[in-house]
Chains A and B, each alone.
Chain A
Amino acid sequence: MAEQATDRLVRMLGILTYVERNGDTPFAELAEHFGVSVDQVRKDIDALWVASEPGDSWSPIDFSADDFDADVAALVRNDGVSQVRLSPREAVALVGALSTMGAAGALPEAGTQVLAKLRDALAEPVTVLGDDQVAPEIREALLEAIARYRLAEVEYVDAQDRRTTRTVDPHRLVVIDGHGYLECFCRRAQDYRVLRLDRIASVTVLDGAVEHPPTDTAGFTLTPAFRATVRIARTGRYALEDIPGVEIEDADEDVIATFDVADAAFVAGRLLAVAPHLRSVTPPRLVAELHRQAQSVLDVQR
Chain B
Amino acid sequence: MPVEKSQRLLNLIIGLSSTRHRLTRDQIRDTIEGYEPLPHGASEEEVRKAEASFERMFERDKKELRDLGVPVETVEDPVHGDEIGYRIRPAEAAMPALDLTAAELAVLGIATDYWRGAVLGSDATQAVMKLASSAEHGPRVELPFAALPAVATDAFATLVEAVADRQAVRFEYSSVSSGAGTRTVEPWRVVLRAGVAYVIGFDRDREAPRTFRVQRIGGPVTPVGPAVEEVPEEIPLGALAASADVRTARVALRPESGHALRRRGSAAGVDGGWDLYDVEYAHGDAVVAEVLALAGGARIVAPAELAQSVAKAATAALEVERG
Contacts and interface: CB of A to CB of B under 8 A. Distances in A.
Q: Do A and B come from one complex?
A: yes
B64 A108 contact: no
B129 A272 contact: no
Contact of B195 (A34, A87, A114, A178): A178
B293 interface: yes
A54 B317 contact: no
B285 interface: yes
Nearest to B8: A5
A179 interface: yes
19 contacts: A29-B137, A32-B137, A53-B15, A80-B18, A89-B161, A93-B121, A93-B123, A96-B190, A97-B147, A97-B150, A98-B107, A108-B103, A117-B104, A129-B237, A157-B263, A161-B294, A174-B146, A295-B318, A298-B315
A269 B260 CA distance: 15
Contact of A106 (B9, B101, B145): B145
Contacts of A221: none
Interface residues of B, number: 126
B279 interface: no
Contacts of A209: none
B115 A93 contact: yes
B143 to A, nearest CB: 5
B145 A108 contact: yes
B148 A18 contact: no
A88 B322 contact: no
Given A84-B70, A297-B314, A146 B144 contact: yes
B67 to A, nearest CB: 6
Interface of A: 5-18, 21-22, 29, 32-34, 47-48, 50-55, 60, 79-94, 96-101, 103-104, 106-108, 110-111, 113-114, 117-118, 121, 125-130, 132, 143, 146-147, 157, 160-161, 163, 171-179, 183, 199, 201, 219, 234-235, 237-239, 241-242, 250, 253, 255, 265, 269-276, 278, 280-284, 287-288, 290-302
B155 interface: no
B314 A294 contact: yes
Contacts of B120: 89, 92-93, 96
A69 B96 CA distance: 31
Interface of B: 4-7, 9-11, 13-15, 17-19, 23, 27-28, 31-33, 64, 67-70, 90, 92-101, 103-104, 106-108, 110-112, 114-115, 120-121, 123-124, 126-135, 137, 141, 143-148, 150, 157, 160-161, 163-164, 174-177, 179-180, 189-196, 213, 215, 235, 237, 240, 242, 256-260, 263, 285, 288-289, 291-300, 307, 310-318, 320-323
A125 to B, nearest CB: 8
Nearest to A30: B137
Contacts of A179: 194-195
A79 B18 CA distance: 9
Given A87-B69, A106-B145, A297 B310 contact: yes
The 10 closest A-B pairs by CB, nearest first: A178-B195, A296-B296, A87-B69, A88-B164, A269-B293, A90-B127, A54-B31, A273-B289, A294-B317, A97-B114
Contacts, number: 401
A174 B148 contact: yes
A66 B319 CA distance: 85
A50 B106 CA distance: 33
A163 B17 contact: no
Most buried by A among B129, B191, B315: B129
Contacts of A82: 90, 94-95
A114 B104 contact: yes
A300 B108 CA distance: 51
Contacts of B130: 10, 13-14, 83-86, 90
A13 B260 CA distance: 52
Given A92-B160, A121-B96, A111 B176 contact: no
A142 B278 CA distance: 30
A55 to B, nearest CB: 4
Contacts of A14: 129-130, 132-133
Contacts of B321: 280, 287
B141 to A, nearest CB: 8
Contact of B314 (A54, A280, A298): A298
Contacts of B19: 54
Given A113-B101, A234-B175, 17 more contacts: A5-B4, A6-B9, A6-B68, A85-B93, A88-B164, A90-B127, A97-B114, A98-B107, A98-B111, A173-B146, A174-B145, A269-B293, A272-B289, A278-B316, A288-B322, A297-B310, A298-B315
B68 A161 contact: no
Most buried by B among A12, A83, A171: A83
